[in-house]
Amino acid sequence: MASGGNPPLFNKSTQDKLQKTDISSIVINCDACKFDQTLEKATGFCVTCTEYLCDKCSSDHRKNKITRNHTLLTEGEMPEDVDSFKAINQLTKCQVHVDHNLSYECFDHKVVICVMCLSERHRKCDNVIDLSTCTECDDTHQQTLNENQDKIDGLISQVQRKSVQLVNAERIVEDEIQVFSSQLKQTIDVLKDKLLSELKHIVNSETETNHEAQRHYEKIKTDIEKGNHLLQKVKAYGTRHQITIVNRYVKGLTETITQEITNSVLNKTMFDLSLKKDSSLLETKSIGTLQVLSSEVCAEACGSDALSDEDDTSTIDGIEHLLASSHMNETSLGDVPCHLESTKMLPNANTNHQKSDKPDDSKQLLATSSTHDTTCLDTTNVRKSMLTSSGPIPSPRSSMTFGNPKIPTKLQDRLVGKSRKSHQINTQTDEYDCTVSAMALLSNGNIVLADRDNSKIKLFSSDFHCLDEVKLPENPTDMCVINGVIYICCLETKKIFWLTIEDRFSPIVRTYPTRLQPISVSEINSELLILFSNADFDVVEPGDINIEIRNKSSIQAEISYDSADEAFEYVEDAKRIHRLDSTEILLAENDRVSCYNVDLNAEDLSERLWYYKSHGKNCLEDARGIAKDSEGNVYVCGRDSNNVHQVSSKNYRMNRVIVSNINAPVSVCVDEKNDRLLVGCDEDNYVHSYSMT
């Protein structure tokens, strides 16, 4: 019977040979002549016999009745390797009758058989066909093999990239372990010094108490000796009157001394000093946990202009998830270069007024809605175990105030910049100076930064300790946070990147394509508000802009405007977009900031409500970062004018420059909980914090 399985066709040496195709430099001898101990150059190859033949043997091969029907290949068609042909012959030979080829297929027994098998065991089978009559097309198999070849090439490339990533990850984690272990050692040293200081304090206090007791006892001893001396002298030389007086004095003295000695005996305590060790530290099995963050590598989304409503969750190749290796240090003004320092601004120092399209000065603009809550979920996942002091926790001071409660000053009336701090934000893996192109404040007080020049998204605590960072394939220009999801647009990339955030960034950064170049993103009604442009982001030149409202990749609305209307003549200059409330948006239009009403039903910018444009020394040039506070005040950065403006959306007279002489500000964020204004600049390794009191 025919074989029931296929034996191995190629060994490793054969597979290596298959990768070689150049035969021009190889001399192959005739296999038939080798039996006569002669070496003749082969000029042909018999496919059936799988032998190389010279001219004479090829001629004899064609003349022989048995071999004249064999297929001969000429010198130009001769293969370098015969293993493939041997494999074909091996496949076509019957394993039962090795001298016969497989010629028939028995469908009753589902086997391929030779003529001997047919006559011996399958002569009664009804469904037997001659293989020579089959006309199977091998194109589909060839196509499948080619597809598998592409897939295996991709897997090999992926494994190679993973090897590089493993080396980089090992180096990064090694650095983290070294830094963290150094921090633990420093913490242990601090705790040790604290314990030694406490020991010194206790010993000094007890020593002083002992000295006081000893001085007191010495005084009592002196009084006793004085009483005995008086009694001895008065008995020897005193009169009866003197003896009576001295006896009474000594009696009182004795009662006092007896009482003091009794009290000392009753209150006597033995001093015992020992160390109660925190044995849990000795039982520590680990100072951290290594986490393998795996991600599914899929094909990147196609660059077609046609957009689907389905979500593309493809992972970007080359995106590296980094853990911050050390905490960033807070820098005082004395440590900051002099060109970074700013002068203090008095309230209402800027007397330039906001221009309004509405002639009625008393008409109030609509109030802004409450700030969208970018929720950041709290988790109990702790990546590193920190050593802490086991001492008692002091009770917090009472925050109770007396008298009438203090009414907080409105943000538009506060003094800004009375104190200023500069927080360092560059990390060990940064290659360039940081450019904070966007900032977002999370509900738990953490701060998310977009570092354009280093192609990163960074997470900091409220006191600017670096918690996490993610490497992007492109340079981020703007971002926003909606319900725990960060949406990012990058330079020269027609895509929107997004990732989730809880206590750390998610290890997977996803993307979906866009038809145009997104340059700014914001949030409106819990959906994504995107500003597109065909112009260069860093060049202040007009360019057609488009606005879309999306739910991830699903387009909810495409906002249009009448370019012939003078009210929209500056829209083409817009570089940033920001939501003011559910129906109003802000656009930073180079030298001004404008507020437009969005008609979602008509999908257009239906009305310009107001705009702000400052003149004189405190002008606004190259408007970039926009933020707002809970009172409806708008904050906008002037990168070329080196200042930050505060604009009231409710009273056009209440406008001012609140930060001046700051080098190229491009992002701003209002931290009302901590009464501070955060400003990020171009090519600057700091975020500058200005007090708002």
Domains of the chain and CATH, by start: 12-137 (no CATH), 151-265 (no CATH), 321-378+420-692 (2.130.10.10)
Q: What is the pLDDT of residue 395?
A: 37
CA separation, residue 388 to residues 178, 190, 192, 384 (Å): 19, 10, 12, 12
Give the pair of three-digit tokens for residue 617. Answer: 């020394």
- Residue 610's DSSP bridge partners are 595
Q: What is the pLDDT of residue 234?
A: 87
Q: What is the pLDDT of residue 138?
A: 60
Q: What is the pLDDT of residue 542?
A: 56
Question: What element of type H or E holds 606?
Answer: strand 604-612
Query: CA 106, CA 108: separation in Å to the nearest integer?
Result: 5
Catalogue the long-range contacts made by 426-431 (C-beta closer than 8 Å, 24 or more residues apart). 426/328, 426/685, 427/324, 427/325, 427/326, 427/328, 427/458, 427/466, 427/469, 428/175, 428/325, 428/326, 429/172, 429/322, 429/325, 429/469, 429/471, 430/454, 430/456
Q: How far is CA 8 from the centre of its chain?
A: 48
- Does the pTM surpass 0.85? The reply is no
Query: CA 140, CA 511: separation in Å to the nearest integer?
Result: 34
Please count the other Cβ atoms lying within 10 Å of the Cβ belonging to residue 592. 22
Q: What is the pLDDT of residue 91?
A: 85
CA separation, residue 389 to residues 195, 392, 509 (Å): 10, 9, 38
Q: What is the pLDDT of residue 364?
A: 36
CA separation, residue 500 to residues 1, 171, 338, 461, 482 (Å): 62, 26, 38, 17, 10
Q: Where are the beta strands (DSSP E) in 377-415?
A: none
List the Cα angle 247/251/255 in 5-degree steps. Answer: 170
Q: What is the pLDDT of residue 269?
A: 58
Q: What is the pLDDT of residue 520?
A: 94
Mean pLDDT by 10 residues, the chain (693 residues): 45 48 68 89 90 92 89 86 84 87 90 91 89 71 84 89 87 88 88 88 86 88 91 89 90 88 67 78 78 51 34 38 36 34 36 42 35 35 32 37 57 88 92 94 94 95 93 94 94 91 88 91 93 69 78 86 80 90 90 90 85 85 93 94 93 88 94 95 94 91
CA separation, residue 257 to residues 232, 253, 590 (Å): 19, 6, 92
Give the pair of three-digit tokens for residue 453. Answer: 């020049």
Residue found by looking up tokens 């039982």 in the block:
283
Q: What is the pLDDT of residue 260?
A: 83
Query: Which phi and psi angles does 241 have, rounded to 5°?
Result: -65, -45
Question: What element of type H or E holds 145?
Answer: helix 139-237
